[in-house]
């Protein structure tokens, strides 16, 4: 979500005449788009602002913008801690940045915040400057209606607001015409997408073009009920000509339904990839977290997904050291992780966020050394399962979407499989490959976080080709 918002900010500034700078030292405007999921993000912001203070002293005309979740959370505190900041703007006010910059005269920070998202009619019209020409984030909703004890997202992103169904499909069509081959549907809880729309439709609160809001399938249902529209959306986006791959992030296990798995299986473009946040394998901790499911229910839905979607790769999120987590609780997490046999996991040490229920559980905070030991043990278990999943792919020819040169070795190209596996390969000397090419790569070796292989064949080329400069 943060990356997507940064692309929107870049697009907004480009529309009013700004050009991207290659160096922070020569930029007229520096934008820090912030996240507040974990505490180190706060520290990183103020550390960066300290560096910019010295730079601004040398170049007084430079303007500094702080945007995003930390700005929404801290509001005036940002300007108080860093009085040289020119603009502070919340998560719902990105379109106001040019106007705030024009008003900023250095005397005080220009600030603007809303307590709820703007109407999606306005939000979706904001310009976009995307980092990739072949892959694109597509926002389908903002906000979150859940109340997880550790999460600050609802307070900085607001309640769920779903974007009109047809607006999303139309955006994907435009992207396909511009050469984009892969889209990722983005939301805080994607599998609840559209529930607010169908509720409003049933109440008669939406007038005009109803199909624009709900899509055709819901309107044609003899008994249209209040329900999410996510499975319908997967089918519609997956049928857009020119789109080879559809991904989504992130769903919530308590809201995951069989219709989503069926849409994944029956829609060719939808990738065999599922990010399925577990957070903990302890039922007691899950209850304290207010996650709304048990470990058994989680594993049941995971088995269902794998039975419906062939060759499904599953990743997850896990928090270690939630307040009150006992040795037995952690053992439960290890047990569930081993049984789930994930392809990968994002593992985090609990970070108390002000304003959340968990941050107030100070009497139950766990010794950092104990948490670190558990974190290391969990990481080892995850890497064993990830390596096993990758080794099972050795010898197979995987469909890979070429992304560009490897960050570590510019003579090596990288791309991703439909399961979102990172693959490195050296292109044959007699074959010119471009960003966006779909190729077959025969996997020769595996590591926990990537695969290596050799090009077997070219499957298809994008209509708009982007050459890749290789260095020896």
For 443-457, what is each residue's pLDDT tens digit?
999 999 999 999 999
Is the confidence at residue 6, as pLDDT, over 60? yes
Distance CA 461, CA 125 (A): 30
Is the confidence at residue 124, as pLDDT, over 70? no
Per-residue confidence band for 349, with pLDDT thresholds at 50, 70 and 90 = very high
Per-residue confidence band for 410, with pLDDT thresholds at 50, 70 and 90 = confident
* Domain annotation for the chain: domains and CATH numbers: 2-112 (3.40.50.12160), 132-271 (3.30.750.210), 275-392 (3.30.750.200), 397-467 (2.40.50.140)
* 36-85 pLDDT per residue, tens: 887 777 788 988 999 999 999 999 899 999 999 989 988 889 999 999 99
Binding residue numbers: 144, 148, 151
Q: Calculate ∠ Cα 13-187-289, nearest 5°.
A: 125
pLDDT at 462: 81
Average pLDDT over residues 129-137: 87
Distance CA 13, CA 33 (A): 14
Average pLDDT over residues 265-291: 98
User: Which ranges of 356-422 does DSSP label H, i.e. alpha helix?
Assistant: 368-391
pLDDT at 110: 94
DSSP code string of 429-465: TT---EET-EEEEEEEEE-SS-EEEEEEEEEE--SS-
Q: Which long-range contacts (CB under 8 A, 24 or more apart) does 112-116 make?
A: 113/71, 113/72, 113/75, 113/89, 114/90, 115/158, 116/92, 116/158, 116/159, 116/161
Average pLDDT over residues 381-400: 98
> What angle in degrees, to the nearest 10, is found between the helix axes of 165-177 and 230-238?
20
pLDDT at 408: 85
Is the confidence at residue 469, as pLDDT, over 60? no
Closest by alpha carbon to 434, among 397, 469, 471, 398? Answer: 469
* 8-24 pLDDT per residue, tens: 999 999 999 999 998 99
Pick 446 or 250 by higher pLDDT.
446
Distance CA 104, CA 127 (A): 22
Cα dihedral across residues 346, 352, 357, 363: positive or negative: positive
Q: Is the distance from CB of 267 to CB of 238 less than 8 angstroms?
A: yes
pLDDT at 41: 78
Distance CA 375, CA 6 (A): 31
pLDDT at 355: 87
* 355-379 pLDDT per residue, tens: 899 999 999 999 999 999 999 999 9
Q: What is the mean pLDDT of the chain?
A: 92
Average pLDDT over residues 79-104: 93
For residue 4, the SS3 value is: helix
Distance CA 465, CA 472 (A): 22
Token digits for 415? Answer: 């791309």
* 172-182 pLDDT per residue, tens: 999 999 999 99
CA dihedral 151, 156, 157, 159 (to 10 degrees): 80
CA dihedral 293, 228, 91, 237 (to 10 degrees): 120
pLDDT at 470: 53
Distance CA 50, CA 46 (A): 6
Is the confidence at residue 2, as pLDDT, over 50? yes
Binding residue numbers for [4Fe-4S] cluster: 144, 148, 151
Per-residue confidence band for 420, with pLDDT thresholds at 50, 70 and 90 = very high
DSSP code string of 401-419: EEEEE-SS-TTSEEEEETT
Closest by alpha carbon to 393, among 341, 447, 349? Answer: 447
Distance CA 301, CA 310 (A): 15
Distance CA 460, CA 86 (A): 48
Is the confidence at residue 119, as pLDDT, over 70? no
Is the confidence at residue 350, as pLDDT, over 70? yes
Task: Calculate what percentage of the chain has a pLDDT beyond 90.
Answer: 77
Tally of CB atoms within 10 A around 169: 18
**Phi and psi at residue 249, in whole multiples of 5°?**
-160, 140
DSSP code string of 103-136: H--SSS-EEE--SSPPPHHHHTTS----S-SSEE
Full-prediction pTM beyond 0.85?
yes
Distance CA 5, CA 35 (A): 11
Average pLDDT over residues 237-264: 96
Q: Residue 203: which residues within 8 A CB-CB, separation 6 or more?
A: none
Per-residue confidence band for 468, with pLDDT thresholds at 50, 70 and 90 = low
Distance CA 431, CA 416 (A): 19
Per-residue confidence band for 121, with pLDDT thresholds at 50, 70 and 90 = very low
Average pLDDT over residues 230-253: 97
Sheet hosting strand 313-320, strand order edge to edge: 273-275, 313-320, 344-349
């Amino acid at each position: 979500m943060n990356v997507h918002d940064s692309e929107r900010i870049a697009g907004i500034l480009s529309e009013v005449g700004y050009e991207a700078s290659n160096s922070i030292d020569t930029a007229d405007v520096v934008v820090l788009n912030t996240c507040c999921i974990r505490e180190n993000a706060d520290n990183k912001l103020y550390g960066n602002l300290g560096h910019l203070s010295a730079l601004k002293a040398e170049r007084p005309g430079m303007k500094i913008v702080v945007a995003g979740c930390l700005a929404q959370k801290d509001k005036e505190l940002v300007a108080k801690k860093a009085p040289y900041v020119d603009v502070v703007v919340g998560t719902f006010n990105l379109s106001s940045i040019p106007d705030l910059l024009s008003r900023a005269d250095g005397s005080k920070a220009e600030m603007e915040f809303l307590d709820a998202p703007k109407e999606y009619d306005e939000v979706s019209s904001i310009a976009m400057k995307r980092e990739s020409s072949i892959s694109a984030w597509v926002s389908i909703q903002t906000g979150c209606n859940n109340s997880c004890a550790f999460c600050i997202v609802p307070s900085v992103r607001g309640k769920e607001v779903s974007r009109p169904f047809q607006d999303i499909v139309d955006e994907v069509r435009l992207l396909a015409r511009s050469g984009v081959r892969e889209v990722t549907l983005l939301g805080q809880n994607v599998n609840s997408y559209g529930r607010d729309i169908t509720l409003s439709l049933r109440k008669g609160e939406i007038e005009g073009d109803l199909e624009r809001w709900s899509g055709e399938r819901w309107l044609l249902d003899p008994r249209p009920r209040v329900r999410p529209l996510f499975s319908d959306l997967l089918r519609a986006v997956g049928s857009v000509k020119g789109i080879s791959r559809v991904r989504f992030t992130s769903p919530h296990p308590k809201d995951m339904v069989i219709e989503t798995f069926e849409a994944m299986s029956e829609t060719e473009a939808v990738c065999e990839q599922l990010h399925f946040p577990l957070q903990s394998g302890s039922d007691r901790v899950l209850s304290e977290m207010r996650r709304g499911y048990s470990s058994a229910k989680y594993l049941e839905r995971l088995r269902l997904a794998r039975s419906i979607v062939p060759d499904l790769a599953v990743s997850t999120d896990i928090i270690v050291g939630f307040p009150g987590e006992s040795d037995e609780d952690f053992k439960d997490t290890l047990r569930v992780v081993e049984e789930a046999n994930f392809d990968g996991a994002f593992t985090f040490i609990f970070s108390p966020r002000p304003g959340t229920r968990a941050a107030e559980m100070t009497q139950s905070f766990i010794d950092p050394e104990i948490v670190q030991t558990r974190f290391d043990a969990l990481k080892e278990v995850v890497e064993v399962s990830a390596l096993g999943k990758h080794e099972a792919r050795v010898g197979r020819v995987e469909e890979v979407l070429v992304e560009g040169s490897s960050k570590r070795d510019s003579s090596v190209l990288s791309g991703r499989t439909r399961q979102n596996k990172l693959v490195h390969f050296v292109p044959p000397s007699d074959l010119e490959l471009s960003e966006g090419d779909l190729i077959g790569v025969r996997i020769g070796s595996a590591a926990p976080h990537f695969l290596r292989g050799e090009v077997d064949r070219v499957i298809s080329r994008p209509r708009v080709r982007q050459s890749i400069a290789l260095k020896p």
